[in-house]
Structure 1
Amino acid sequence: MSFTSQVPTFLKANEAYVAQFNKGHLALPPTHKVAIVACMDARIDPAKILGLEEGDAHVIRNAGGMVTFKDADLQDKLKKELHSTADHMSLY
């Protein structure tokens, strides 16, 4: 099935999600003040693996689930951009 043929289904699902969305009260930064970097493997659900609920953590998915911290400013950038997320962990 092509992506183009699935777009109407995705849009309908998004409309339904928006209509019932009730998570606006959740605090920022997230409850656990952590950013999880996970691989983008669709078979893996970081929230389920770690027992997280919506609003518990920032979840960033990328190819390989890896972040190189050679950039000394990266953690500070994550904290600033992710509303003071204090810690990070990689999951892949």
Structure 2
Amino acid sequence: MAQSSSTNVPAVGPVTVRNDMPVISSDGVEVARAAHITGGEKTFEPDEMFFTADRYYNLRRMYGREAYVAGGAVHLRMTAAQFRARHQNPDQ
């Protein structure tokens, strides 16, 4: 399935994440906030992990390759349903 030309998703690369940044799914839903970022801000390589916390404080680990940062938010390369269905510790 081809993406629309109006969607401009960057290539996989390092992402710089700050504590409390909103985490937005690919279908536009705010699913969590970035959490437990050492020093308040850190750049994560594609194979490094960072934590997110939803409104019930369920923590999930995300790989840098699963996200990109735009407009002051972390944007996931997965839908809200995929995010909610994943375990805290994803498979590599």
TM-based fold match above 0.5: no
Q: Which has the higher contact order (CA 8 A, sep 6+)?
A: 1
Task: Choose between structure 1 and 2: higher strand proportion.
Answer: 2
Task: Choose between structure 1 and 2: higher helix proportion.
Answer: 1
Higher Cα Rg: structure 1 or 2? 1
